[in-house]
Structure 1
Amino acid sequence: MKTGTSPQVGQIVKVSKGKGAGQPAVIIAIPDEKFVYIADGNKRKFDQPKKKNILHLELTAVISSEVVNSLQESGRVTNGKLRHAVAKFVESAENNTV
């Protein structure tokens, strides 16, 4: 974990270790202080999230309010909202590097 903050539900992360290295995803659950469940709505659906050690993730400062609100209201989030949150993050990251 490179940024000194603790992970939050709805936060966008970049996978730094494993098969999906370099891929962005959204934290959808935090079972304990060492692991989180991530999904991107595309390869990793909400119904089959990936359990990741937070040491293998790079936390970003971006938290998707849409995802947070949806999880608080219904306990679920659509894969479309996850894809939208990830796409918005990728787009803003590309704009910042240009």
Structure 2
Amino acid sequence: MSVEVSDHPRLGQIVQILKGRDTGKFGIIIQIVDDRFVLIADGDKRKFDQPKKKNLLHLKLLEAVSSEVVDSLTETGRVTNGKLRYALSKFVEEQQASVHEKGE
């Protein structure tokens, strides 16, 4: 995962949902609709074929970008739900590991 600081959404970027039913959960940007909206999916509740359209004001753009998801989207135009789940679980594990290291 690459880490870059930017206020513009990017494909493959991991986001935290701030508003709505899924508040606090994570998703991955799979399409940028316009300057206000993106489509996100998590491969579990929100599959690639039925992504959620979210307003950028309702999302926290995180620094992590999944290179696997970006590569798949640019090569084939789609990404498997398994790859989305894997990228999110890897991100959550890294977050927990860094919190755990700081706590000791």
Q: Normalised by the size of structure 2, how large is the TM-score?
A: 0.89
User: Which of residues 76, 88, 91 in structure 1 aligns to 2:90?
Assistant: 88
Aligned pairs (5 A) from 1:1-98 = 5-98=7-100
Give the share of equivalent positions with the same residue, in percent: 57
What SS does structure 1 have at the residue aligned with 2:9?
coil
Distance 2:61 2:33 in 1: 17
CA distance 1:73–1:4, shift in 2 (3 Å):
closer
Distance 2:68 2:58 in 1: 25
Distance 2:78 2:86 in 1: 15
Runs (4+) of structure 1 moved beyond 6 Å? Answer: none
Gap runs ≥5 in structure 2: none
Q: CA deviation at 1:4?
A: 5.5
Q: Look up the equivalent residue of 1:31 and give its one-letter code.
A: V
Q: Normalised by the size of structure 1, how large is the TM-score?
A: 0.95
Distance 1:91 1:76 in 2: 25
Gap runs ≥5 in structure 1: none
Q: CA RMSD in A?
A: 1.0
What SS does structure 2 have at the residue aligned with 1:45?
coil
